[in-house]
C-alpha cells in the first residue's frame, strides 16, 4: 500500500484526519446514479446486484472486483486515447490523471507532491458507496500516479459481512444463465 506520510510518531490520528479532510472534498457524483444504485441495493440487500448493474456501464464504474467485503477499483484513464497513444511514462500519467492539481506534479517520480493528496480522488468512491449503503466506507490507496505507478488502484472496504467474490465475468455468466 501507498503509506503517503502518516505523520510523526505520537500522532496516530493524523492519517485519519488527512483521509477525512481530503476524501470529503466537494466531489460531484450524479445523485441520480447514486439513487438508482441505492434502489438496486435496497431491493434485496445484495452488493453483487449493485456490482452487476455497475458492470453494465464501465465508463462510470470501472468494473470493481469484490473479494469478501473489499472492492478493488482501478480508475479508467481521464483521456483513454491519449493514454493509448502515449510514448513516455510522463505522457501516460498525464493522460491517465483526473486531477488538475496532481497533473502538474507528474513529470518526475517520485513526485514532489505527496500521494496523500490522492485521498481527494478517493472521495468520488466514498460519496458513491456511502450514498448506496447509507454507512461509512474506508478507502485505501493501493497504487497512485504520485507513487510512481501508471494507474490508480483503490481498495474500498464495505461495512458488511460478505463472503466469496464478484467479477464482471462472473456477473456476465450469471446473467446468461438466468
Contact between 102 and 148 under an 8 Å Cβ cutoff? The reply is no
Question: Averaged over 13-27, what is the pLDDT?
Answer: 72
Q: Scanning the structure block, which residue is given the C-alpha cell 441520480?
A: 32
Burial code (b: 16+ CB inside 10 Å, e: under 16) for 134-147 equals: eeebbbbbbbbbbb
Rounded average pLDDT over 109-128: 83
Task: Please give the average per-residue pLDDT across 56-72, as a whole number.
Answer: 88
This model's pTM is above 0.85: no
Of all residues in the chain, what percent carry a pLDDT higher than 90? 43
Model confidence at 6, pLDDT cuts 50, 70, 90, reads: very low
Residue 3 clears pLDDT 50, i.e. is over it = no
pLDDT band at 178 (very low <50, low <70, confident <90, very high): low
Considering Cα of 14, then 15, then 20, then 24, what sign does the dihedral take?
A: positive
Q: Phi/psi of residue 138, each to 5°?
A: -120, 135
Amino acid at each position: 500500500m501507498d503509506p503517503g506520510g502518516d505523520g510523526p510518531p505520537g500522532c496516530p490520528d493524523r492519517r485519519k484526519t488527512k483521509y477525512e479532510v481530503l476524501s470529503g472534498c466537494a466531489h460531484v457524483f450524479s445523485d441520480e446514479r447514486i439513487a438508482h444504485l441505492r434502489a438496486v441495493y435496497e431491493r434485496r440487500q445484495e452488493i453483487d446486484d449493485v456490482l452487476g448493474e455497475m458492470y453494465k456501464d464501465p465508463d462510470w464504474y470501472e468494473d470493481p472486483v469484490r473479494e469478501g467485503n473489499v472492492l478493488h477499483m482501478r480508475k479508467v484513464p481521464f483521456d483513454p486515447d491519449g493514454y493509448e497513444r502515449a510514448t513516455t511514462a510522463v505522457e501516460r500519467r498525464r493522460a491517465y490523471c483526473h486531477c488538475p492539481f496532481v497533473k502538474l506534479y507528474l513529470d518526475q517520480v517520485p513526485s514532489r507532491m505527496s500521494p496523500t493528496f490522492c485521498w481527494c480522488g478517493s472521495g468520488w468512491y466514498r460519496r458513491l458507496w456511502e450514498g448506496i449503503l447509507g454507512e461509512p466506507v474506508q478507502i485505501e490507496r493501493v497504487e497512485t500516479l504520485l507513487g510512481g505507478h501508471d494507474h490508480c488502484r483503490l481498495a474500498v472496504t464495505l461495512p458488511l459481512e460478505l463472503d466469496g467474490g464478484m467479477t464482471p465475468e462472473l456477473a456476465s455468466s450469471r446473467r446468461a444463465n438466468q
